[in-house]
C-alpha cells in the first residue's frame, strides 16, 4: 500500500475487497520486509550474536509450543495467570511469525496460526474484562492498554504468516479477532484512541499496523489522524504534542521509554508502507531525537527515575532494543553500538541485524555523554530538564535538575528537584514510583496507595518544601497550569552550571536554584554546588530534604538520636512516612556536614546555615502497614521561620574504601569551610579546602553577558560579566601573594 | 640453606658470619626462585594476562616512586594516614623487588632499596606506637600484627634486591631494620609469637621468612618450633592445631582467609628452602585442604560471613590469589582455574604465572561445588560446618548449618545457626561483624561496640534463643568448653540433609536441628526443610529469629503494624537493637507464611505452629546512636511458654520478577500446607503443594541404618530404616490410589 496523504479523507474502505494472494509479494510489511528477510538469510553468518538470538528464540518457541499454549478465560488483573499468559501468547505469536520468516521453518508458522485461531474462537464472546476499573476497560485484559500492546505484537506475527493461512483460516482470524479488536480499540474506545497520551499512542499503533497488515486504509487513516480523520488527534498529532523539540517526553524517561514503543513500531511500519510521509524526518527528526534522549536520560544503563518510574528500567529494555536498532539503521551512528552493548539481546528484524552485525564486526565507538538541557513542552517553552555530566562515560558524575512541567498524571510534585550520580551509583536519590509492577499481592501490581501519600509528595524529593505542604498543594490540575523557567545553562571545561526558578508552586513563596559541577577545586573529584533560594512576603518553615544512598560514617555536630522510641517527622504530605531517627541544631553561620559511604567511595554533604537550622535524619517506613515502602534515608534541613532563606550546599565525593584489598583513602572530605554571602544582587560562595586553597563561585542570576557585576571580599573587588564567575586557581594565587 | 630438622636444637647462629655475596646464586629464595624468574622471562609472552598485571604493577610503581614516598612518624590507628602509608610502603618494597626480578629494571631495585634505607633510619628510634592498646603493641603500627604483615612483604622485597645493595647498605637495612623488627616480633613479643592464633602465624611467618632471607637459622627455628624451640608453639604446632582435618579454621572462613596468608607465604618459603620438610604434605596435605576449604566456604565469590566477618571479602582477595596459584602449581587441578576467573589479578611469582598461563591457554574447567561437611577442631571432634548445595555452580542453592566450636574471641554465639543462599544472593542472612574496616571515623576502623551488643549475640543469628538470652550467656570462656555434635549428614540425588544437636548452650535446655534440601517436590526450585526442636525440664520462652534479605510482599495472617511509634523488641542481648515493626498471633496448628521478593525471585517462608505462636517483624537500628548498624530485617517466631517446642519451617524459592521485560511468574508459592507430627520417637513432616501432590519427610534422628522405624498416617504405615526417609512421588501416587 502506498498511502496518499492528500487523499486521506477520500478513501473508501473498498480496498479490502481487492485483497488478493498475489499481493503477498510485499509481505511481511510492518517491521520486517521481504528485503530484510532476504538480506538476513544471506548474511546471517556474519553476525554470531544475531544468530544466537534467533536460535535461542526458536528454541524457546519449540518449548513454548511443545504442548498447545493455554488460552484461558480472561479473569486476572496484572500479574495474574490469565493476564501473564495472554501477554506471553501475544509475544509468542509475534516471535513465531518472525522466526518463520527468518528460518523458513513452517512449524513456527503453524504454531502462530493455531494460536491466532484459538483467540479468534474466544474473542467474539468476550465482554468487558471482570477486573476492569475506570474508563478504559479491556476485553482480553483488565485495561485496553494491554489489549493494544497485545495487538501490536499479534498483528506482526499475523502479517508474517498470513500467506501461509488458508482463505478460511485468514477470514476467521481477520473477522473474529483482528477486526473486532481493532474496532474495539478505535471506535469502541474513543476516550483512549483519540487521547493525546501514551495509551492513545498504543491504540493508534495497534490499529494502524492492523490497517497496514489488512490493507485497510480506514484503520490507517484513523490511526494517523484520529477518529474524525481531521488530525486533531491520532499519531501525527501525538508526535507533535507529546515530545518537546529536544525529544523529551513530558512524563519523564520511564514513561518515555514505554511511550516510545508504539511510536517506533508504528513509525517503522509507516516508513515501510508510506515512505513519502517521511515520518522519521517529521519535526526535524523528532523520533530520532527522542531515542537519543532516552540514552541521555540514563545513568549506568538505568533511566533517571523521575516521576512515576520503576527503577530497574533502563536501556536494556525491549523498547530501547527496537529504538537503538532503528536509530542505527537510520543514521549509521556507531556510538549507538556501545548502547547496544548494554543490551542483552537484539530485535529480530533488519534493523536488529544491521546493529548486531556492526557490533560483531567491531565498529563500536563510545556514546558521547555530555551536559545537555532538554526543553519541555511541545514548543520547548515549559521549563527543561538540565543534565550536567562530568567525565566521558555513563558511570561518572551526573547531576539532574528537574525544572520541567508536571508531566500529566504520573508527574511528581518536585519542582527544581535534584538527582546526583557518581561512581556508578545513584547517590542523591529519587524514590521513583511506589509500585511493584505485575506483583499481584501488591495491589494487583498497580500503583500502591503510597504512590500518592509518599512518592508523589514533595518531601519525597530533593527540593524545597514550604510549611510541610507539597508543591501546588499536591493537586495536578493546579500543577498543570504552570512550570519552572530556566534561568541559565552553561557547560565549559571547568564549570557546568544550570539555574531555574519556580514562581508559583506555593501561593506566596517563590524559589530558584542554581546547581553547578566544579572540576577544578583541590579535591579528588568534581564537586557539586547547590544554591537554593526561597523568598516570600511572609514567614514560613522551609525544609530541604536530601535523600541519600549510603551508610553514615560521621557528622560535624553531635546528634540527638532517637534510640528507643521512633515517631514520624510529621503528620501529612509524605512527612507521616518518615521516622525521625536523630536531630541536631546548627546555629546561623555554621557549617553542618555529614559523611557517608556508598559502596567504595565516601561522600560529604556540607550545608552553610544562613539562619539557625535544624537537621533531621530520617528513615522511610512510618505509616506503612503493609510494608509497601523501601527502607531509605533522608536528611531534612529545616529553617523554622523566615521570609527568605538560602540553602547553600557543597557536595564532595572523596576517597576510597577497599574492603577486599583492606585499605581506605581520604575517608574525610577535603573541603573545610563553606561561606556564603549576598552582596547587592549577587550571591557569593567561598569554599576552602584542607590545603588552604580557596575558590569562589559568584552568581549574579543575570544572564545578560554585557552587564558587569562586582562584589568585594575582604576589601578586594571581584568583577565579572554575565550570570556567574568562578575564581579558582587564580584566586588562590592571589591569596597567597597577600598572605 | 637446607635446614635439617633433626639438628634444630643444635644449630648455632654462626651461619650469618659465613654469609658471602657468592651465596646470591640462590636469591631470591622465598616465594620467587631464580628458576621462576628465568621461566617467566622466557615464556612471559604466553600469558597476556600475567604480562598485563606485571606491566600495571610496574606502571603503578613508577607513579608511586615518582616522588620519594613519605615515611611518616607512626601516629595513627588503622585507616589513618601514617598507618595506611606504611602499609602501602611495605607493599611497594615487595612489588618493586619482584618487578626488578621479573623485568631487570634496576630503577625498581633502587626504589625498594631507598625505601628500606629510610625505614632503617627511622626504625631504631621507635618506641611503642602511641595508639597501642592492650597487650600486643607495635612500633611502626598500633598493633604488632600489622608489623608482622609489613615484614612479610618487606622481607620479600629485600630478598629480591639484596644482591644489588652495597655491603654498607645491606648492613644498615639488616642491622637497623630487619633484625630489630624480627627480634621485636619474636623475643620482644612472646605473647603473640608463641600464641596458637593467627596473629602468631603472622609473627612466625615474618620472622621465619626473615630467617631464610638473612640465612639465619635461629629465626627459622623459632618460627617453626616456637621461642623455646621445643615445638609446643611455632608454625608446625599452629598447622596442627589451627586447622581441622578437613582444612577448616575454627574462627570461620573470613579469618581463615586472613590466617591462610602467613601459612601460605611461609610454607612456600619453607618448601623452597627446606623441601625435605615436605611442608605441603604435612597432615595429609592440610594446607592444600585449607585452600580448597576457602573455596567451598564461599557463595558467589564471597565467604560465608560466619563469626566476625567483613561481608565484602571473598575469593578475590590477595590471600586467595596466593592460595589458588599455589594450589594450582602444586596439584595442576584445572578446576582451580575457574576460581582464578573470579579474581581480578595474579600474584607475581612462578605460581601466579603458571596459573595465568593455563587460564590464557583455555584449560579452565568448572569448580566442583558439592555438599560437604567440614569437621571442626584439631582432631575433627568439635562439631562441624555442614554445607548443603543444590546445583553445580557457586550461585545456585547453598544451605549452611553452623554446628562448629566457638572459634575463639571472634566467634559468635550462634550454635546451629543457619544461612541460606539462592540465585546469587544471601537470602537468610548473617550480619557478620559490626565493623567498618579501616574507616577511621568508625571507632578507628576497629570493631564497633555493636559487635558485642548485636553482631555476636544469638538473636542476631538464625537460631534458637531461649528467654531472650544468648547461648552460653554470651560468655566466651563458657562457650569454649563445649560444642555441638553432628547427628547425621547425607547427600543423595534427591535429598541433602544435615542434623546436629547442642546440649549445653543453655543451662537446662538442649536443642537439635535438622535441615534438608529436597529437590523433588512439585516446586520450581529445591525447598529447604528446617526442624528445630528445643526441650527442657522447665518452661521457657523460645524464639527463632529469621534474618532475611528481601522486600515483604505478602503474609498469611494480617499484621498488627506499628505505624506511628516504634519500640525495641526487648531490653538486652541484642533485642534492644530490634525495632518492632509489626506482629501477629498464630494459633497452634496453623501455618504462618510470609513471601518476599529478593532481586528477581520470590521466597516463601512457612512455619507450622506447634503451640500458639507470636510472629514479630523487626528492623535493626534501635539503640544505635551513631548509625553503626545496617538496616536489616528479621522475623522472630516466639513461643511464650513451653517446656518443649518444634519450630518446623519450609522455605520455598519460587517464580520470577522481571522488571525489565515486565512480567512476573508464580509470585505466590506452590506449597499450600505444612503439617508436622511426632509419633513415638519419630518426626514426620508433610508438605502439600497446590497441584495436590504430597511429600513426607520422616526423621528418626537415629543414624543406625539397621534400625527400622514406622509411623502411621491416616491409618497407613510408613516404614524406613535409619535416620530419615523421604516419601515423594511414590507417596503421591499412593495417595491418588486411595482417593
For B52, list phi and psi in degrees, rounded to 5: -65, -45
**Euclidean distance between CA atoms B136 and B191, whole angstroms:** 8
pLDDT-based confidence at residue A395 (cuts at 50, 70, 90): low
Instruction: Give how far Cα A253 sits from Cα of A395, A399, B461, Å.
Output: 18, 15, 42
Q: Is this prediction's pTM over 0.80?
A: yes
Q: Which residue has the higher pLDDT, A577 or A519?
A: A577
Q: Taking CB atoms and an 8 Å limit, are B664 and A559 in contact across chains? A: no
Q: Residue A737: pLDDT band by 50, 70, 90 thresholds?
A: very low
Q: Quick check: B515 and B399 in contact, CB under 8 A?
A: yes
- Cβ–Cβ under 8 Å, residues B78 and B138: no
Q: What is the ipTM of this complex?
A: 0.89
State how far the Cα of B449 lies from the Cα of A585, in Å rounded to an integer.
Answer: 26
Beta carbons of B594 and A441 less than 8 angstroms apart = no
Q: For the segment B716-735, what is each residue's pLDDT rounded down to a tens digit? A: 788 899 999 998 765 544 44
Q: Is A73 within 8 Å of chain B by CB?
A: no
Cα–Cα distance measured from residue B74 to residue B86, given in angstroms and rounded to the nearest whole number: 8
Residues 113-172 of A with CB under 8 A from B: none
Per-residue pLDDT reduced to its tens digit, B384-411? 999 999 876 656 899 999 999 999 999 9
Confidence of residue B703 (pLDDT cuts 50, 70, 90): confident
Q: Given CB atoms, is A579 within the 8 Å cutoff of chain B?
A: yes
Using the Cβ of A568 and the Cβ atoms of chain B, whether some distance falls under 8 Å is answered with: yes
DSSP B438-465: T-TTTGGGSB-HHIIIIITSGGGSSS-E
Cα angle A331, A336, A338 (rounded to 5 degrees) comes to 155
Tens-digit pLDDT profile for residues B519-560: 878 788 899 999 999 999 999 999 999 999 999 999 999 999
Partner-chain contact B566 A565, CB within 8 Å = yes
Question: Residue B586 and residue A242: Cα distance in Å, rounded?
Answer: 53
User: Cβ distance B167 to B102 under 8 Å?
Assistant: no
In this structure, the strands spanning A633-654 and A613-620 are antiparallel
Beta carbons of A631 and B622 less than 8 Å apart: no
Instruction: Establish whether A255 is a catalytic residue.
Output: yes
Would you state the cell numbers that stand for residue A613, as one nine-digit string? 537550622
Residue B630 Cα, gap to closest chain A Cα (Å):
8
Phi, psi of A571 (to 5 degrees): -110, -25
Q: Give the pLDDT band (50/70/90) at residue A6.
A: very low
* B570 vs A: CB within 8 A: no
Is the pLDDT at A564 greater than 80? The verdict is yes
Strand partners, B435: B447
Grid coordinates given for B532: 528445630
Pairing of strands B601-609, B591-598: antiparallel
- Residue A276: exposure state from Cβ atoms within 10 A (0-12, 13-18, ≥19): exposed
Residue A243, beta-bridge partner list: A249
CA gap B27, B731 in Å, rounded: 70
Question: E-strand spans in A391-430?
Answer: 397-404, 417-422, 425-428
Please check the confidence at residue A79 and state whether its pLDDT lies above 80.
Answer: no
The DSSP call for residue A660 is T
pLDDT in tens, A652-661: 999 999 988 8
The answer to whether A659 contacts B310, with C-beta atoms less than 8 Å apart, is yes
**Contact between chains at A668 and B441 (C-beta distance less than 8 A):** yes
pLDDT single digits (tens) A371-381: 999 999 999 99
Locate the chain A residue with the closest alpha carbon to B303. A660
What pLDDT is recorded for position A733? 47
What residues contact residue B223 under an 8 Å CB cut-off, 6+ apart? Answer: B186, B204, B205, B207, B208, B211, B234, B235, B266
Once rounded to an integer, what is the mean pLDDT over residues B403-423?
96
Residue given cell 655475596 in the structure block? B21
pLDDT tens per residue across span B675-685: 998 888 899 99
Residue indicated by cell numbers 534492644: B576
Look at B727 and B54; give whichever has higher pLDDT.
Answer: B54
Look at A21-25, A331-335, B110-114, B689-693 and tell me which has the smallest mean pLDDT: A21-25
Averaged pLDDT, B65-91 = 93
> What pLDDT is recorded for position A394?
56
Three cell numbers, residue A654: 572523596
Closest Cβ–Cβ partner in B84, B87, B662 for A437? B662
The Cα–Cα gap between B338 and A713 comes to 63
Question: Does A660 reach chain B within 8 Å, measured CB to CB?
Answer: yes
In contact, A531 and A518? CB cutoff 8 Å: no
Note whether B657 contacts A438, CB cutoff 8 Å: yes
- Nearest by CB to residue B624, choosing from A563, A621, A662, is A563
* End-to-end Cα separation, chain A, in angstroms: 81
Which chain B residue shows the shortest CA-CA distance from A627? B552
Would you say A2 and A276 are in contact if contact means Cβ atoms under 8 Å apart?
yes
In what helix (H) or strand (E) does residue A223 lie, and over which residues does it extend? helix A217-225
Is there a contact between B625 and A559 if contact means CB atoms under 8 Å apart?
yes
The pLDDT, as a whole number, for residue B693 is: 85
Sign of CA dihedral A160, A165, A167, A171: negative
Mean pLDDT of A499-520: 95
Separation in Å, CA of B26 to nearest CA in chain A = 31
Backbone φ, ψ for residue B274 (5° rounding): -135, 60
Question: Which pLDDT belongs to residue A730?
Answer: 55
* Partner residue opposite B659 with nearest CB, options A313, A567, A582: A313
Residue B729 has what pLDDT?
60
Q: Which of A129, A197, A199, A410 is catalytic?
A: A410
Q: What does the mean pLDDT of chain A come to? A: 92
Say whether residue B660 is in contact with chain A using an 8 A CB cutoff.
Answer: yes
Write the pLDDT tens digit of every residue in A660-699: 888 888 999 999 999 998 888 899 999 999 888 888 999 9
How far apart CA B719 and CA B336 sit, in angstroms, is 44
Express each pLDDT in B469-493 by its tens digit. Answer: 999 999 999 999 999 999 999 999 8
| Minimal C-alpha gap between A622 and chain B (Å) | 5
Q: What grid cell was written down for B458? A: 544469638
B chain contacts of residue A440, beta-carbon cutoff 8 Å: 664, 667-668
Residues in CB range of B730: below 8 A, 6 or more apart: none
pLDDT of amino acid A663: 84
What whole-number distance in Å separates Cα of residue B427 and Cα of residue B547?
A: 8
A95, with CB counted inside 10 A (0-12, 13-18, 19+), is buried
Do B84 and A440 make contact, defined as CB atoms within 8 angstroms? no
Distance from CA of B682 to the nearest CA of A (A): 37
Q: Which three cell numbers stand for residue A517?
A: 559541577
Contacts of A621 in chain B (CB under 8 A): 581, 619
Q: Compute the radius of gyration of chain B from its Cα atoms.
A: 28
Over residues B176-184, the mean pLDDT reads 98
CA B706 vs. chain centroid, Å, equals 38
Give the Cα separation of A525 and A655 in Å (integer): 9
| Residues B161, A382: Cα–Cα separation, whole Å | 69
pLDDT tens-digit map of B216-249? 999 999 999 999 999 999 999 999 999 999 999 9
| Residue from B85, B321, B432, B663 to probe the interface with A (highest A Cβ count within 10 Å) | B663
Q: Is the pLDDT confidence value at A78 over 90?
A: no
Assess A277–B contact: CB distance below 8 Å, yes or no.
Answer: no
* CB distance A140 to A72 below 8 Å: no
CA distances, A689 to each of A524, A693, A726 (Å): 11, 6, 16
- Asked whether residue A21 carries a pLDDT value surpassing 70, the answer given is no
| Active site positions of B, annotated | 255, 410
Amino acid at each position: 500500500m502506498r498511502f496518499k496523504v492528500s487523499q486521506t479523507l477520500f478513501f473508501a474502505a473498498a480496498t479490502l475487497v481487492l485483497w488478493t494472494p498475489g499481493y503477498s509479494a510485499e509481505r511481511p510489511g510492518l517491521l520486517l520486509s521481504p528485503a530484510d528477510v532476504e538480506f538476513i538469510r544471506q548474511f546471517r553468518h556474519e553476525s554470531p550474536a544475531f544468530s544466537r538470538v534467533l536460535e535461542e528464540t526458536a528454541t524457546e518457541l519449540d518449548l513454548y509450543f511443545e504442548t498447545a499454549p493455554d488460552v484461558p478465560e480472561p479473569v486476572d488483573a496484572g500479574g495474574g495467570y490469565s493476564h501473564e499468559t495472554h501477554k506471553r501468547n501475544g509475544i509468542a505469536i509475534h516471535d513465531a511469525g518472525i522466526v518463520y520468516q527468518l528460518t523458513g521453518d513452517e512449524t513456527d508458522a503453524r504454531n502462530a496460526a493455531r494460536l491466532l485461531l484459538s483467540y479468534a474462537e474466544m474473542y467474539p464472546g468476550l465482554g468487558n474484562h471482570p477486573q476492569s476499573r475506570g474508563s478504559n476497560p479491556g476485553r482480553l485484559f483488565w485495561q485496553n492498554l494491554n489489549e493494544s500492546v497485545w495487538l501490536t505484537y499479534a498483528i506482526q506475527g499475523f502479517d508474517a504468516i498470513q500467506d501461509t493461512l488458508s482463505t478460511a483460516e485468514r477470514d476467521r482470524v481477520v473477522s473474529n479477532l483482528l477486526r473486532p479488536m481493532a474496532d474495539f480499540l478505535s471506535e469502541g474506545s474513543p476516550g483512549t484512541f483519540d487521547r493525546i497520551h501514551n495509551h492513545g499512542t498504543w491504540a493508534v499503533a495497534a490499529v494502524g499496523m492492523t490497517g497496514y497488515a489488512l490493507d485497510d486504509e480506514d484503520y490507517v487513516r484513523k490511526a494517523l489522524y484520529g477518529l474524525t480523520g481531521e488530525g486533531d488527534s491520532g499519531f501525527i498529532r501525538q508526535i507533535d504534542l507529546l515530545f518537546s523539540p529536544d525529544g523529551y517526553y513530558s512524563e519523564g524517561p520511564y514513561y518515555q521509554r514505554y511511550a516510545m514503543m508504539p511510536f517506533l513500531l508504528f513509525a517503522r511500519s509507516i516508513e515501510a508502507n508510506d515512505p513519502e510521509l517521511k515520518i522519521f524526518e517529521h519535526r526535524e527528526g523528532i523520533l530520532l531525537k527522542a531515542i537519543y534522549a532516552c540514552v541521555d536520560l540514563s545513568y549506568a544503563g538505568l533511566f533517571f527515575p523521575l516521576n512515576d518510574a520503576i527503577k530497574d528500567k533502563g536501556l536494556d529494555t525491549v523498547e530501547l532494543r527496537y529504538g537503538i536498532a532503528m536509530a542505527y539503521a537510520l543514521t549509521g551512528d556507531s556510538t549507538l553500538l556501545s548502547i547496544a552493548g548494554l543490551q542483552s539481546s537484539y530485535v529480530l528484524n533488519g534493523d536488529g541485524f544491521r546493529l548486531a552485525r556492526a557490533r560483531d564486526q567491531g565498529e563500536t565507538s563510545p556514546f558521547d555523554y555530555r551536559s545537555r538541557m532538554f526543553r519541555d513542552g511541545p514548543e520547548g517553552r515549559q521549563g527543561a530538564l538540565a543534565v550536567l555530566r562530568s567525565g566521558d562515560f555513563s558511570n561518572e558524575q551526573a547531576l539532574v535538575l528537574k525544572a520541567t512541567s508536571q508531566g500529566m498524571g504520573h508527574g511528581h510534585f518536585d519542582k527544581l528537584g535534584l538527582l546526583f550520580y557518581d561512581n556508578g551509583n545513584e547517590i542523591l536519590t529519587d524514590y521513583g514510583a511506589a509500585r511493584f509492577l505485575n506483583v499481584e499481592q501488591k495491589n494487583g501490581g498497580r500503583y500502591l496507595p503510597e504512590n500518592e501519600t509518599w512518592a508523589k509528595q514533595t518531601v519525597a524529593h530533593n527540593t524545597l518544601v514550604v510549611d510541610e505542604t507539597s508543591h501546588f498543594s499536591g493537586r495536578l490540575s493546579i500543577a498543570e497550569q504552570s512550570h519552572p523557567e530556566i534561568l541559565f545553562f552553561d557547560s565549559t571545561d571547568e564549570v557546568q552550571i544550570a539555574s531555574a526558578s519556580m514562581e508559583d508552586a506555593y501561593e506566596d513563596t517563590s524559589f530558584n536554584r542554581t546547581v553547578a559541577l566544579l572540576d577544578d577545586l583541590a579535591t579528588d573529584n568534581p564537586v557539586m554546588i547547590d544554591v537554593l533560594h526561597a523568598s516570600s512576603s511572609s514567614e514560613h518553615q522551609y525544609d530541604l530534604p536530601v535523600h541519600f544512598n549510603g551508610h553514615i560514617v560521621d557528622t560535624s555536630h553531635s546528634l540527638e538520636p532517637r534510640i528507643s522510641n521512633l515517631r514520624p517527622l510529621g503528620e501529612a504530605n509524605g512527612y507521616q512516612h518518615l521516622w525521625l531517627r536523630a536531630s541536631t541544631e546548627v546555629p546561623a553561620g555554621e557549617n553542618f556536614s555529614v559523611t557517608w559511604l556508598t559502596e567504595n567511595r565516601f561522600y560529604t554533604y556540607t550545608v552553610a546555615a544562613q539562619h539557625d537550622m535544624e537537621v533531621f535524619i530520617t528513615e522511610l517506613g512510618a505509616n506503612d502497614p503493609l510494608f509497601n515502602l523501601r527502607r531509605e534515608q533522608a536528611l531534612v534541613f529545616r529553617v523554622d521561620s523566615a521570609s527568605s532563606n538560602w540553602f547553600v550546599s557543597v557536595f564532595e565525593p572523596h576517597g576510597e574504601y577497599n574492603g577486599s584489598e583492606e585499605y581506605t583513602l581520604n575517608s574525610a572530605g577535603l573541603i573545610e569551610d563553606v561561606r556564603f554571602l549576598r552582596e547587592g544582587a549577587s550571591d557569593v560562595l567561598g569554599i576552602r579546602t584542607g590545603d588552604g586553597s580557596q575558590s569562589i563561585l559568584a552568581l549574579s542570576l543575570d544572564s545578560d553577558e554585557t552587564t558587569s557585576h562586582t562584589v568585594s571580599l575582604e576589601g578586594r573587588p571581584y568583577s565579572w560579566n554575565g550570570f556567574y564567575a568562578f575564581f579558582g586557581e587564580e584566586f588562590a594565587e592571589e591569596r597567597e601573594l597577600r598572605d
